[in-house]
Amino acid sequence: MTFAFTRILNSLGGSLFSQTPQFPFNKDSVRLLQASPPARSTSQFLGVIESFLNSAMSRQRRWFDNPYPDYQPGNEQLPNLENVRKLALEKVEKVFEHGARDGDGALYVGAVGCAYMLLHIFDKLTVEERKRLLPLAFNAFQLQSVYFQRNPGKQTDEPGFLLGKSGHYAVGAVLGQLTGNQQLTNDCLQSFIAAANVCKPIDFFKPGGDEFLVGRSGYLCGALWLQQKLGYQPVPKEDLKAVWNAVFESGKRYSKLNKSPSPLMFSYYQTEYLGAAHGLSSILQILISFPVFLNENPEAATTIKASIDFYHTLQDQTGNFPCAMDELGRKARHPDEMLVHWCHGAPGAIYLFAKANKVYGEQKYLDACLKCGDLMWNRGLLRKGPGICHGVAGNGYVFLVLNRLLEGKDPKQLYRAGKFAEFLECPQFLKEANRPDCPYSLYEGWAGTVCFLMDLLQPEAAEFPFFNLDVNYA
Collect the ranges in the chain with pLDDT lower than 70: 1-60
**What is the pLDDT at residue 59?**
52
Annotation-wise, does 389 bind a ligand? yes
**What is the pLDDT at residue 442?**
98
**What is the pLDDT at residue 40?**
43
Which of 268, 267, 285 is closest to 276 using CA atoms?
Answer: 285
Dist CA 216 CA 222 (whole Å): 10
**What is the pLDDT at residue 275?**
98
Q: What is the sign, positive or negative, of the torsion defined by CA atoms of 400, 405, 411, 416?
A: negative
**What is the pLDDT at residue 60?**
67
**What is the pLDDT at residue 90?**
96
Q: What are phi and psi of 362, to 5 degrees?
A: -95, 135
Q: What DSSP character marks residue 212? A: T
**What is the pLDDT at residue 447?**
98
Q: What are phi and psi of 129, to 5 degrees?
A: -65, -40
**What is the pLDDT at residue 439?**
96
Annotation-wise, does 343 bind a ligand? yes
**What is the pLDDT at residue 398?**
99
**What is the pLDDT at residue 17?**
27
Q: What is the DSSP string of 282-326?
A: HHHHHHTT-HHHHHH-HHHHHHHHHHHHHHHTT--TTS---SBGG
